[in-house]
Amino acid sequence: MTFLRVLRWELFKLYRRPSSYVGFVLCLVFCAVTLFGFGWTQYRGREIQGLKIDASEYLNGPFFANFVLNIAFFALLPLVVATVAGSQLAGEAKDGTLRALLVRPPSRTLLYLAKATASLIWLELVVVFLLLLALLIGHVAYGGGDLVVFIWEYKSMGFWRVDAGDWPAVFALAALGAGASLALVAAVALLLSALTDNPVVAHVGTLGGFFISTVLQRLPDQVMGEAFKDLLPTTHMNFWHEVYRWADPSGPGVDRARLVEDVAWCGSLTVICFVAGLWVFRRRDVTS
Amino acid sequence: MPGPVVLATHDLCKRYRGRTVVDRVSITVERGDVYGFLGPNGAGKSTTLRMVLGLVRPSAGRVELFGRPPQDRRVLARVGAIVESPSLYGSLSGRDNLRMLADLSGGAPAARLDEVLERVDLRGRADDPVRIYSHGMKQRLAIAAALLPRPELVILDEPTNGLDPMGIRDMRALVRSLARDDGITVLLSSHLLVEVEQVCNRAAIIARGARQWEGEVAELLSGRRRVRLRARPLDAARAVAERLGAGVREVEPGLLHVTRDGAQGEVTPAALVASLAAAGVEVDEIVAEAPTLEEVFVSLVEAA
């Protein structure tokens, strides 16, 4: 009961803080820029990775939404989650409001768990908002239809099609999966937020780590070997892409071994970072 | 007769990277006290209060709030506290700040919110966002938040910092009223001697991290009452005062300060004059003086 009470107020603070809405505004900007970019580069008439398909068959609302989600997952959403979660403790320490919370009965553990949960709920709201917004804009610009899927790491499988009646479930699972995967970024941001009184350090530290990992992961295998890439967190954060394979009845189906390995990696790292953040927060002196 | 102990610290220490900022501080606050925690800036007052409230972990020593350590979070429901500047959420209204902080302390009915807002004279501005409040309004709202759960102990860390003279006067009146009308024990940290002298019945003086003195404010001042004396011959006057058991100090040429609390009991100005006359000493000036807390404080801090 106390946890729910604290969580309610943490969500209320996010809801009333203007900076919490930067993520939603960025989603709108991101969709608009992507739409503009599609038109500008005449994406409609091009081939993708040498795979020939008539543009009129794939460029529609669901395709646009899926494209936006996949790009935003590595470009926009980490930024949003790092700023929201990174501000949770360090921001309150900087503003002095952490003192007001900690001189009251709820324990530090309870407060930390409520802040972590509020960050994850907010993150999921942003992911769902982005997806719904992209669907809306995509439908208005290109109309509806089946979802044609092209996933970079499955490029050898080419394109596949998800029926119009099936893609809402695929998107729902993708939104949940992407949110769960980004919980790792939230956990790192919370850990850094517990370590410092300056939210900028938590934001920059989290994003710096995420982008370094992403860049190293994207280097050719000749430069950065696969064994090393397996140690990078971002290598395992795409586990939610398995939902697209699950939706392809004619394909090879879900790669269960990869799914288990990636979920285990991400889940373990997320739990380790959350627990480490809690450990730090319970012991730190609040001097700000 | 002392009341039950509400707050006690025992040999509390805090070290940061080998530097001791609080050094074996022991204080005892009894029920009904308005207790002044007095010290110059940087003396370790806020760090001590943070340890009392569980914000900072002591390097050594312990804290008891109502006989329990502050890690027992239930005791914090009996305490209202403001540590340093008022810490409030600027994006929330004054009322929402109070609702949230009350909820975290176990909840309070809407009528109680109005009651405390009325008390700090903010009811008319309660629905405005706190970011547009003045510093004084924020300070008053923080006091309201501290009072919401009907605490038995209120800890106020430098509550008049940044207030204008009217705000300072109102704050002092509020502190007095908390103790007098509500029976709340108050621990008031301040570097303003006049504040402690006007408001507190008991106090501790802290300097360079260590407690220099603790006790009744009146006792501290009365124990240092003195007589200012100009007389001829000065050496004869000094000898007479010393025979009475008083301490004598020549503070400037021709001027003696004679302590009234002598080894053989109180040395009254009348008794001193009689003894001086009997010894043939001519008295040019004799004035009974009570030192201000400021003088006592400075002498204790300089001695530290």
Q: Which of B47, B76, B100 sits opposite A105 (nearest CB)?
A: B76
CA distance A159 to A251: 10
Is A87 within 8 Å of A202 (Cβ atoms)?
yes
DSSP of A14-51: HHH-GGGGHHHHHHHHHHHHHHHHHHHTTGGG--BTTB
Whether B298 contacts chain A with CB within 8 A: no
A229: amino acid identity, one letter: K
B-chain residues near A99 (CB < 8 A): 55, 83-84, 87
Cβ neighbours, 10 Å, residue A231: 12
- Name A9's Cβ contacts closer than 8 Å, sequence gap at least 6: A114, B100, B103, B104
CA distance B194 to B107: 36
- Cross-strand partners of B261: B266
CA distance A198 to A196: 5
Residue A85 burial (10 A CB sphere; 0-12, 13-18, 19+): buried
- The whole-chain average pLDDT of chain A stands at 89
Specify the 3-state DSSP secondary structure of B43.
Answer: coil
Distance from CA of residue A23 to its chain's centroid? 12
Residue with tokens 């300072």: B168
Is B181 within 8 Å of B28 (Cβ atoms)?
no
Q: What is the pLDDT of residues A158-190, one digit of tens each?
A: 778 888 888 999 999 999 999 999 999 999 999
Is A288 within 8 Å of B87 (Cβ atoms)?
no
Cβ neighbours, 10 Å, residue A43: 15
Q: Report the residue of B46, B56, B76, B100 to disrupt the A interface, i.e. the one with the largest count of A CBs within 10 Å.
A: B100
CA distance A28 to A134: 8
CA distance B38 to B158: 10
Please report the pLDDT score of residue B220 as a whole number: 75
pLDDT band at A150 (very low <50, low <70, confident <90, very high): confident
Q: What is the pLDDT of residues B118-136, one digit of tens each?
A: 988 888 899 999 999 998 8
CA distance B86 to B139: 6
A199: amino acid identity, one letter: P
Continuous segment of H or E residues that includes residue B293: helix B293-303
Task: Answer yes or no: do A100 and B101 touch at CB < 8 A.
Answer: yes
- Residue A37 has φ and ψ, to the nearest 5°, of -65, -40
Q: What is the pLDDT of residues B218-274, one digit of tens each?
A: 777 776 778 889 999 999 999 998 888 888 888 888 898 888 776 667 788 888 899
- Domains of chain B with bracketed CATH: 5-216 (3.40.50.300), 223-303 (3.30.70)
* Residue A119 tokens, joined: 């960050």
pLDDT band at A59 (very low <50, low <70, confident <90, very high): confident
Please report the pLDDT score of residue B66 as a whole number: 93
Mean pLDDT by 10 residues, chain B (304 residues): 84 92 94 90 90 94 93 90 87 93 86 90 91 90 90 90 83 87 91 81 90 85 79 91 86 86 76 90 86 72 68
Compare all CA atoms of chain B with the CA of A97 and give the residue at the minimum distance. B87
Whether B57 contacts chain A with CB within 8 A: yes
B-chain residues near A98 (CB < 8 A): 87
A139: amino acid identity, one letter: H
Please report the pLDDT score of residue A282 as a whole number: 95
Per-residue pLDDT, averaged over A20-49, amounts to 80
Is A39 within 8 Å of A144 (Cβ atoms)?
no
- Name A63's Cβ contacts closer than 8 Å, sequence gap at least 6: A138, A142, A147, A148
Whether A153 contacts chain B with CB within 8 A: no
ipTM: 0.81
For residue A46, pLDDT over 60 is answered with no
pLDDT band at A38 (very low <50, low <70, confident <90, very high): confident
CA distance B78 to B149: 7
